[in-house]
Amino acid sequence: MSDLLIQAEALRARLTRPGCLVFDVRHQLSDHQAGRRAYEAGHIPGALFLDHETQLSAPRTGHNGRHPLPDRAEFVALLRAQGLTARSEVVVYDADNSMFAAHLWWMLRWVGHEAVSVLDGGWAAWQASGGAVETGTRTASVSEAQAVQSLGLSGKPSMPVVDARAVLANLDEPRFTVVDARGPDRFSGAVEPMGPVAGHIPGAINRPFALNVLADGHFKPSAQLRQEFESLLGERLDHGIVHQCGSGITACHNVFAMELAGLRGSALYPGSWSEWCSDASRPVAKGNA
């Protein structure tokens, strides 16, 4: 389908190649220890675990969202400590629907590492394919030579971002369309289980990230994704797309799906709804229109 995605059977072959680095990012927003427990109970051989709350997010201030982006230099240092070099072929996976895997895919691209794929269908697909299982905890073993090689990371962002000020300015002088990846009930403001304010950014349109995958967690065919995004966005595609969600995680799923569809170049608002609604002066819309 695309080098953005890798199937379980192909990953088995890749694991035998030097330079393959696999990250397990299983996680539950309702239970922050669930991912690590799942990893220790069984993971792809050689995979390293990264935690979305403690390693892939910066400290929360109450005004920067639930999963603020980490400092770029600190994130690159974390990747180096895991053994990432400029020549690494990275594969990321989560439980099944790539909700968290797509986030780490985006973050790796954000710091300039292009050779990263998402395991289609995640851990569930690996198990279904009969892939080997390793238990316990594995830590990276990084030689001095690897650490030097890792300096080859460009550090140049290939994934554009916008901040809350840009989104606010866009309300008066529209230059891009905001696409909200949350479910329809959260988008409309009918419910808000994760934060203090319900609703959405005025002018945003809704594309729940779950629409990008089939019932088994595998991504829809790229042609189908392209048709769906083109049908939703129409001429807006020519004027800039910015993705957001609750805290910047599932928005990356829509970025990834659009890349699969050959629709490249959309941006991310990392703070997303949890940052937006932390300031009462920012307007809130409700309903599905």
Q: Cβ(274)–Cβ(181) under 8 Å?
A: no
Two tokens, residue 75: 């994130």
Per annotation, catalytic residue among 20, 245, 252, 277: 245
DSSP string, 77-115: HHHHHTT--TT-EEEEE-SSS-TTHHHHHHHHHHTT---
Q: Report the interhelical angle of 250-260 vs 222-233 (nearest 10°).
A: 110
Task: Name the amino acid, one letter, at 232.
Answer: L
Dihedral angle, C-alpha 285, 160, 262, 224, nearest 10 °: -30
| Eight-class DSSP state of 249 | S
Residue of 135, 125, 80, 78 whose CA lies nearest to 101: 125
252 counts as catalytic: no
Dihedral angle, C-alpha 195, 196, 201, 206, nearest 10 °: 40
Active site (catalytic) residues: 245
